[in-house]
A and B are shown apart, each in its own frame.
Chain A
Amino acid sequence: MTAVHAPVTGLLDVEAVRSDFPILTRTVRGGNRLVYLDSGATSQKPVQVLDAEREFYTRHNAAVHRGAHLLAEEATDAYEQARATIAALIAAETRELVFTKNATEALNLVSYTFSNATAKAQHGRPLPEGAERFVLAPGDEIVVTEMEHHANLVPWQEVCDKTGAVLRWIGVDDDGRLDLDDPVHGLDAVLGERTRVVALTHQSNVLGTVTPVRRVADAAHAVGALVVVDACQSVPHMPVDPAALGADYLAFSGHKMLGPSGIGVLWGRFDLLESMPPFLTGGSMIEVVRMEGSTFAPPPQRFEAGVPMAAQAVGLGAAVDYLQGLRSADGSLAGLAAVAAHEHALTAYALESLARVPGVRIVGPSDTAGRGSAVSFLVEGIHAHDVGQVLDDRGVEVRVGHHCAWPLHRRFGVAATTRATFYVYNDPRDVDDLVAGVRHAQYFFGVA
């Protein structure tokens, strides 16, 4: 099928990008070209990232922040250089960046701060200066949104269960945007003087919606609450500056931005990190240890117990370098701005192409304003699992299910959606294959 469309402009030089990703040359399910549209779950890795990890292991491997031999020095330098590279990406100070095993752990690091500080305060145990801001009392409130990934919802439910705090949430409107002006589920109704934390996503992993973090953060700060931003779907796809967003904490994962699995990042305002009790404890994170008790290292080491994932950090540093080095095909944009423009163009083309298929309904904003590249949709009469199976049979790999956002799906009255997500190596041909696959699913299940 030949798609009839205006030329898609604003793209990266996709052929050049694709040549850096060996996995994209393999075939799947009986010789089909691999059309990878699941980067929202995890991205593929360029050779530059794989080479950086291999180089670390073949030349410099040692346990970082331990020992005084040459390899330990080189490994520590590589690890800390990666931290600096990643910090620069989000215009942050190096000491504000904590490495975790993934973004879920980064969010838990923040949520556990509250339950740990509360437990220690109850028993009159020592806490860092300023830690009282993390001590919760029954009836204090934690605010999330209805579009959160489980990773930015379940940890807060747990904090509430451990401290007696109350979970409240901002609603989502029919177009998939935060319903900030709603009289019942909007900002004014949900935030109040008991609000201690506002945790929200920067970009929905299901709807693609980019949320107005600055507006929410200003409202949160006005009532004295801290703002925790899940940036898993924004940092890989657009320029992000947590300070400009008004965030107090911001979490993202390495594997969704061309980096290795096994590494996530927590950025936090340094004064906050300094006043936090530790999360995971053990080696590396201590200052002095005695049998009677211990004191803890300053951030970020305080939150990096045990031998860290040095090779993954190096790989993520290489991924950041790779992203920063990308250019629009017409040379007009560079780095994450070029990535954002590329995805914007693909998303517009995908929304437009899917809109032309009868029986397909987009769940989320149907135009590209304030929207990223996650495109979730329903195909009337066919369950998402079955849509995904037909697509997979044609080499088109999408995500099906609730995408770890079950309450959001319940909000839209559906059990599951089919989700396509785009990244630097996707092109309009991938969109055409997606749409052709959806049409074939309709034919196969006899609904069109």
Chain B
Amino acid sequence: MIRILNVDKRYRIGAGEVQVLRGVSLDVKKGEFVSVMGQSGSGKTTLMNLIGMLDSPGGGSISIDGTDITGKSQKQLVELRRRTVGFVFQQFHLIPSLTAYENVALPLVFAGEKDNDAVAAALGRVGLSQRKDHKPAELSGGEQQRVAIARAIVMKPKILLADEPTGALDAATGSLIISMLRSLAGEMTVIMVTHNMELAMCSDRIVNLKDGNIAE
């Protein structure tokens, strides 16, 4: 499903350069739930951004479902990202002026599609059908993250990328979110960045990043 081969990534910081990933190689199967762990600065988020096509590698290749995404144009990447990847962020990042329903509908709007059933189904999937007309400020943190998950799955992506999805939540709510991600795995490939070993244990596989390389 996802094949990462000898991927390097460097960032220019001021006059210097920092190598964040060094020849990372990783295969993730379709429907697998993988946790990525590692210390701050180990390259977890960078790896997620590369898989999510928000960034491009300095070297090596990444292919999704057999399609090499390195070397694709920006326009092609936007279209591929829309259809292939859903994102869940630590800080939820919902649009404050929109209701839960409208936030979930956003990816469809950007894709030029109108599928009310898909929005309703996604909200139902995260148990928020009754809260669809509420704005983010009127929702709890856990509810906001569930809206973010609904937004991430509304386009039925092949990959769900979750970057510290429980980082801003209490333990009980975090467990609920993890169980939700767990239930989504199988239908889609789930890759989650976390610092929490207990939560990581819920996944099928844990990948440890250390100094820009995988120490599985």
The answer to whether A and B come from one shared complex is: no
Residues of B within 8 A of A (CB): none
